[in-house]
Amino acid sequence: MNIATNPASPSEAYSSARLLIDGVWQENGDRKTQPVVNPATEKPIGTVPHATAEDLDRALEAAQRAFPLWRATSPRERGRILKRAAHLMHERQEEIARIATLEMGKPIAEARLETHFASEEMEWFAEEGRRTYGRIIPGRLGETRFQVVKEPVGPTAGFSAWNFPVGNAARKMGSVLAAGCTMIYKPGEEAPAAAAAVAQCLIDAGVPAGVIAVVYGVPDFISRHLLASPVIRKISFTGSVAVGQHLIRLASEGLKRTTMELGGHAPVLIFDDADQAAALEMSVQRKYRNSGQVCVSPTRFFIQAKSYEAFCAGFADKASKLKVGDGLDAASNMGPLVHARRRDAIEALVQDATSKGAKLLAGGHRVNNEGFFYAPTVLADVPDDARIMSEEPFGPVAVLNRFSDFDDAITKANKLPYGLAAYGFSNSHKTIAKLSDQLEAGMVGINSFNISMPETPFGGVKYSGHGSEVGIEGVEAYMVTKTVSIT
């Protein structure tokens, strides 16, 4: 494996995050702060403040006050503002991407792509917000008519993980603003400034004070405080299953609506009749994107018996040639994990699997003395009782096993309680039709890992959550339905 190094001094370009409340970036004052650490160097690059109860109350009050004004702003005008924000994100792509890489480690090329895609989503929301139509239904008596109208649900709270700090922020705030709602948004404390940069684009584009707030701190304290308030009518969360379940419990106290984008453990079924070279190339590229810290990351690969050995050899060869290094170095194919905990978790999962008989074909070790790097890893013949067969690794580990026929493959794929993404590779129409029908997932990719566009709903089933972001459904998620009978 090659190791790329970063020649630049990364800490120079970073400004510490601040809270955004009622349209004003707050001075930190005597608030508690925690360091933001560059995972490629393990060095602090700045700080992130902790919101107090008083900060959260002010954000709630502002979100409530701003709601009727934003709701009354025409969808066309809201769309214009969001479109301006999309343009600003596009213009500031380099600066935003650099912040994301500094904070959470992904290669700069991936951060640029994330920012580009996020600005496209913002543009989609700008347009789709104009199409929140209702309908008219003729009544049964004389002149009575029924109007079905869609209305914004009210002030909302959004909580996201750090893995797509730009994309998650744009997705949550863009959909909410398109629907006419306000949002208090809490990004992951690991990557606070990237999310703040998205908020800055919205403010510079003309989003009024109070419509969005950005807060950080102790996650459980913040979510409990916001969810206990009657002001918040809906929450949207992107993160792990355990935290999602916890938030649903809190939300149920106030009967608040929820959208839950939770974890996954995506299966990939590769049939003998598939284009093996293409499947291999795409699989390696997607597995190690963002160091595997992607909720739709392909993880459990099942390969049909005749193709198995060659696929394993090819996977290991390609994985071991990837350059691991600082994301700011354009030569790096893969950056570090976000923090030491993630790296230690991956290490433990790999050790558990090999101790139970899995073959280690590539990686399986740390890289560098500094930075939370872990080598692109390939495990084969992994027994069912290895933890990695059922626990989401969220890291750079591919798990390869064989299957005999379609029934065997689909049973293995659907075995886990997760249902976010699933993939299949085959050139048989019959197999493709059966995969499309029978894979239990919110998103299915056939002969491709491209399962998400601004126009398509993104979300899972089973333990991977409920509701969708993006697509028509992404705006609809922040609206309630009212029926009006007029005689």
Smallest gap, in angstroms, from Cβ of residue 456 to ligand NAD? Answer: 14
Smallest gap, in angstroms, from Cβ of residue 470 to ligand NAD? Answer: 11
* Side chain identity at residue 21, one-letter code: I
How far is residue 21 CA from its own chain's centroid? Answer: 24
Apex CA 41: angle with CA 36 and CA 47, to 5°?
A: 15
List of E strands, 201-307 = 212-214, 234-238, 257-261, 266-270, 298-304
Return the number of the residue (20 or 262) whose C-beta is nearest ligand NAD. Answer: 262
Torsion, CA 250, CA 252, CA 255, CA 259, rounded to 10: 80
Nearest residue to ligand NAD, scored by beta-carbon proximity: 239
Return the number of the residue (293 or 304) whose C-beta is nearest ligand NAD. Answer: 293
Residue 44 CB coordination number (10 Å): 13
Look at the alpha carbons of 19, 25, 28, 33 in this order and tell me if their dihedral is positive or negative.
positive
* Side chain identity at residue 176, one-letter code: V
Smallest gap, in angstroms, from Cβ of residue 133 to ligand NAD? Answer: 28
Contact between 289 and 452 under an 8 Å Cβ cutoff? The reply is no
Return the number of the residue (70 or 418) whose C-beta is nearest ligand NAD. Answer: 418
Return the number of the residue (196 or 316) whose C-beta is nearest ligand NAD. Answer: 196
Return the number of the residue (10 or 239) whose C-beta is nearest ligand NAD. Answer: 239
CA distance 61 to 351: 50
Burial category of 408 from C-beta neighbours within 10 Å (exposed 0-12, middle 13-18, buried 19 and up): middle
Smallest gap, in angstroms, from Cβ of residue 459 to ligand NAD? Answer: 8
Give catalytic residue positions: 261, 295
Return the number of the residue (377 or 468) whose C-beta is nearest ligand NAD. Answer: 468
Smallest gap, in angstroms, from Cβ of residue 404 to ligand NAD? Answer: 30
List of E strands, 79-238 = 135-138, 145-152, 156-159, 183-186, 212-214, 234-238
Rule CB under 6 A: which residues touch ligand NAD?
A: 159-163, 188-189, 219-220, 223, 238-240, 243, 246-247, 261-264, 295, 392, 394, 420
CA distance 178 to 107: 31
Residue with tokens 């190791």: 3
Residues 6 or more apart whose Cβ sits within 8 Å of residue 200: none
Smallest gap, in angstroms, from Cβ of residue 397 to ligand NAD? Answer: 14
Return the number of the residue (248 or 480) whose C-beta is nearest ligand NAD. Answer: 248
Query: Quick one: tokens of 457?
Result: 């709903």
List of E strands, 381-448 = 397-403, 421-425, 443-446
Smallest gap, in angstroms, from Cβ of residue 351 to ligand NAD? Answer: 19
Nearest Cα to Cα of residue 439 among 461, 454, 467: 461
